[in-house]
Amino acid sequence: MGRLVVLALLGAAVALVGERLVAFRERVAASREVEPVEPQNCRLVEGLEHGSEDVDILPSGLAFISSGLKYPGMPNFAPDEPGRIFLMDLNEQNPKAQALDISGGFDRESFNPHGISTFIDKDRTVYLYVVNHPHAQSTVEIFKFEEEQRSLVYLKTIRHELLKSVNDIVVLGPEQFYATRDHYFTNFFLVLLEMILNLPWTHVLFYSPREVKVVAEGFHSANGITVSLDQKYVYIADVMAKNIHIMEKRDNWDLTPLKVLPLGTLVDNLTVDPATGDILAGCHPNPMKLLLYNPEDPPGSEVLCIHDVLSEQPRVSTVYTNNGSVLQGTSVASVYKGKILIGTVFHRALYCEL
C-alpha cells in the first residue's frame, strides 16, 4: 500500500513536470521570425564586442555602458576578461566607447557588471550604481564619476541578505534604490526548475540604509526596472511573463500595481525617452536560441517602444529588429536627441540615427 502511494505521488510529480516542461518549451521556443526593421545610419560600436548589457544616459548625453556580463546559461565570448564600464559622449559627431578607469581599491578582476543606474546628487555630483556578480554573488557597487578625468572612483559595496540574484536597479536618492530579483533560487539547477515550473516567486526590493523591504512580488522573473520622468511611476519588465508592469510609487516607497502591458516577447532592460516619456524595451524574440547558442542559427534582436504608457491604450511600435546577423540578444536601447544606442547581453552594440 505504501509503495502504491509513493508510486502514485511519483507518477503525479512526473506528469506535472512533464506538463510544465511542454508549457516551458512553448513559452521559450515559440521562436518568432522577426521582420527586419532598422533605423538609418547604423554602425557597430567599436570596443563593445563582448556585450553592452545595460545603458544609462545622463541628461548631458554621456552614456554609461556595462560590458562583459557573465551570466549562468548565457553565452560569453570573453570568459577570462573582467567586465568593464564604458563611456560614450553622444554629443560627438562620431562617438567612441572608452573604457573607464576605476580607482579607489576596487577588485577589478572579479568585476561582473549587470544592470546600472546613474544618480545626480543635489550638488550635481554624478554617481554610478552597478549590479555586480563577483564570484556568483550579487552586490551593488557605488562609484563617483569624475567627468574631467573620465574615470570612476570606487566608493562602497552594498551587500544585503535580500539582495540576491539582482538583475537591475534604479536609484532615486542617495543609497536609495529599487532592485529586481530575477530568480528565487541561486543554484543553477534549481533556477532551471524554477523556470520550467514557471514559479512566480521573484520580487522588487526597496533598499535604503534605514530600511530594506520587498515592495512588489509575484513576478516570474523581474528583470529591467526604471522610473517615469516625473518619478511617480515605476516600470518593471517580467522577462519570463513577457510583459511590463506599471506601478505607482507611494511616499513610503511601496509600489501599487496599476496595469500590466503584455508584449509577447521576452522583455529585458527598460529605459525612458527623456523627450517623450515613452518606454524603450530591449527584447529577446527567440529565447531558446539564446540558451542553446548556435552561431549558425543565432538569437535575434528586438527593440520596442511603448507610447502613452499611462493612457487607456498604450501603443507599441517596433524600433529595431534583426535576425541575429547584426545583433544577437538585445538587452537594452536608450535614446538621446534623435540617436539610439542598442546594447546586447554578450554580443555587439549598435548606434543609429532615428
- List, by residue number, the catalytic residues: 114
Residues 6+ apart with CB under 8 A from 63: 55, 56, 57, 87, 88, 89, 90, 334, 336, 341
Is 223 labelled a binding residue? yes
The minimum distance between CB 93 and Ca ion, in angstroms, equals 27
Rounded distance, CA 354 to CA 352, Å? 6
Measured from the CB atom, the residue of 95 and 113 that comes closer to Ca ion is 113
The minimum distance between CB 54 and Ca ion, in angstroms, equals 5
Is 308 labelled a binding residue? no
Which residues lie near Ca ion (CB under 5 A)?
54, 115, 167-168, 223, 268-269
Is 101 labelled a binding residue? no
Is 243 labelled a binding residue? no
Measured from the CB atom, the residue of 141 and 268 that comes closer to Ca ion is 268
The minimum distance between CB 227 and Ca ion, in angstroms, equals 10
Measured from the CB atom, the residue of 54 and 273 that comes closer to Ca ion is 54
Is 168 labelled a binding residue? yes
Measured from the CB atom, the residue of 52 and 269 that comes closer to Ca ion is 269
Measured from the CB atom, the residue of 223 and 322 that comes closer to Ca ion is 223
The minimum distance between CB 11 and Ca ion, in angstroms, equals 38
Is 238 labelled a binding residue? no
* Of 161, 53, 61, 64, nearest in space to 115 by CA: 53
CB 349 within 8 A of CB 90: no
Is 286 labelled a binding residue? no
The minimum distance between CB 128 and Ca ion, in angstroms, equals 11
Q: Which residues are annotated as a binding site?
A: 53-54, 116, 167-168, 223, 268-269
